[in-house]
């Protein structure tokens, strides 16, 4: 079981000509064979990413609607109310937005790792006790196992 954040979920939908992002998308797709979990905040963040991509004409509205519709079939969602206090504490510790800390709180609660492509969050956790709960999307090559 892995926790994933919006930076990973978005890569399932958004193709790109950029080789780095294309590689990240391919890696993110391999995670779909695993049991995935996220705070239900993911649905709101994911919908917002889809809106931005439609607005920028990078994807069509139909593709965005289909992606948001299947999200609950791909990921087990945890109610954020269960995570709010811990996410806030983590945000204070890291001096980082609480939104991202809900994903870290999920990983900690489930005793697993958060897989993220969010470089800012990864950097913020580096060298802290929270580093044990997060791994970069491209930091491992064994996601298929």
* Residue 66 CA: distances (Å) to CA of 11, 70, 139: 15, 6, 29
pLDDT in tens, 84-97: 999 999 999 999 99
Provide DSSP, 27-46.
HHHHGGGS-EEEETHHHHHH
Q: Does the residue 128 lie in any domain?
A: yes
Q: Does the residue 143 lie in any domain?
A: no
Q: Does the residue 55 lie in any domain?
A: yes
131 CB-near residues (< 8 Å, 6+ apart): 125
Q: Does the residue 145 lie in any domain?
A: no
Instruction: Provide the domain limits for residue 27.
Output: 2-136
Q: Does the residue 50 lie in any domain?
A: yes
- Alpha carbons 23 and 11: distance in angstroms, whole number: 10
Q: Specify the number of domains making up the chain.
A: 1
Neighbours of 134 (CB within 10 A): 25
Mean pLDDT (whole number) for 63-83:
93
Question: What global pTM score does this model have?
Answer: 0.89
Q: Half-sphere exposure of residue 44, counting CA atoms within 13 Å on the CB side?
A: 8
pLDDT in tens, 90-133: 999 999 999 999 999 999 999 999 999 999 999 999 999 999 99
Let me know: does 9 contact 42? Beta carbons within 8 Å. Answer: yes
Q: Token pair for residue 73? A: 């079939």
Q: Does the residue 87 lie in any domain?
A: yes
Neighbours of 26 (CB within 10 A): 10
| Vertex 65 angle, CA 62 and 70, to 5° | 125
Q: Does the residue 144 lie in any domain?
A: no
Q: The domain that contains 22 carries what CATH number?
A: 3.40.50.1010
Q: Does the residue 26 lie in any domain?
A: yes
pLDDT in tens, 20-59: 567 788 888 888 889 999 999 999 999 999 999 999 998 8
């Amino acid at each position: 079981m892995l926790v994933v954040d919006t930076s990973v979920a978005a890569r399932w939908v958004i193709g790109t000509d950029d080789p780095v992002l294309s590689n990240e998308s391919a890696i993110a797709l391999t995670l779909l064979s695993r049991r995935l979990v996220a705070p239900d905040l993911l649905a709101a963040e994911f919908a917002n990413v889809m809106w931005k991509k439609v607005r920028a004409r990078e994807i069509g509205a139909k593709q965005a609607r289909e992606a948001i519709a299947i999200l609950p079939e791909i990921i087990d969602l945890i109610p954020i109310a269960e995570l709010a206090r811990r996410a806030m504490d983590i945000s204070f510790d890291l001096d980082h937005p609480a939104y991202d800390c809900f994903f870290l709180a999920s990983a900690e609660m489930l005793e697993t790792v958060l897989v993220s492509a969010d470089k800012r969050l990864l950097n913020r956790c580096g060298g802290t006790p929270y580093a044990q709960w997060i791994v970069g999307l491209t930091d491992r090559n064994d996601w298929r196992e």
